[in-house]
Structure 1
Amino acid sequence: MIYQVKAKFNFDKAREFYQKLTDGTIEKQRPDGPEIVSSMKRATIDERGKINWTEMCFCATPLQHERATVYDTYFTEIKTEPISDHKAIEGMSFMEKLSAF
């Protein structure tokens, strides 16, 4: 299933998260590491500072494994909504923002 995700990011951990996203640490995580990295590359930050992305997940509870292993360390207020397909979400590139830290 594909979800649209909205969350608040802890920018105090921006440097650590960006490093793990770009050095292969998260991508090596199985089974969902590659999808987490792809999702963060699609992610945008809106005018209120919320991070928005789409993600494919097959957990019975949306993003259950992803949250337990990665997302709950860096994000709060995570909300998911099922959607039919990935879509572009307006806003500034989240990865670009992270790279500035």
Structure 2
Amino acid sequence: MAKRFVQARPKRDRLSDLRTRLESGEIEALEPFGRAMAKALENARFDSTSGEAVWVEEDYCSPPLAMERVEVLDDYFTDITVVEEDIDEAAGWRRIDDLPGLWEQLPEQA
């Protein structure tokens, strides 16, 4: 199982739609990646220094995040980068643990 360390610039004017889709369960229901993507995006962090969202996501696509980008990510983020293609999930989350949650940091848009 591959884990990807991802960073991306949120489209702030679109985040309320993403939040609605997450809360409704629509993203979680996407097959085959919805459950992993919903968990990752719900726990995403925000790096105020770079203005980017960061998260760790389970992914099996080649190229990385191919299906996720088409179905969800490209609608809500730009400059999507897989920083590390095969990361230990716990280590990846620890790396960004001190950052505020994306949804806490951007509540006025989400």
TM-score > 0.5, shorter chain as reference: yes
Over the aligned positions, Cα root-mean-square deviation in angstroms equals: 1.4
**Residue 4 of structure 2 is aligned to residue 3 of structure 1:** yes
How many corresponding residue pairs? 101
Gaps of 5+ in 1: none
Measured in 1, the distance between the counterparts of 2:5 and 2:13 equals 24
- Normalized against structure 2, the TM-score is what? 0.84
- Normalized against structure 1, the TM-score is what? 0.91
Match of 1:94 in 2: 102
> Residue by residue, what CA displacement relative to the aligned partner does 1:25-55 show, whole Å, maximum 9, x if unpaired?
1111111111111111221001221000001
Deviating runs (4+, > 6 A) in structure 1? none
Which has a greater percent of strand? 1
Q: Pairwise mapping of residues 21-100 of structure 1 onto structure 2 (< 5 A)?
A: 21-47=22-48, 48-80=50-82, 81-86=84-89, 87-88=92-93, 89=96, 90-100=98-108
Secondary structure of the equivalent of 1:77?
strand
Q: Pairwise mapping of residues 6-17 of structure 1 onto structure 2 (< 5 A)?
A: 6-17=7-18
Measured in 1, the distance between the counterparts of 2:23 and 2:106 equals 11
Sequence identity, in percent?
30
Distance 1:28 1:98, change over 3 A: farther
Gaps of 5+ in 2: none
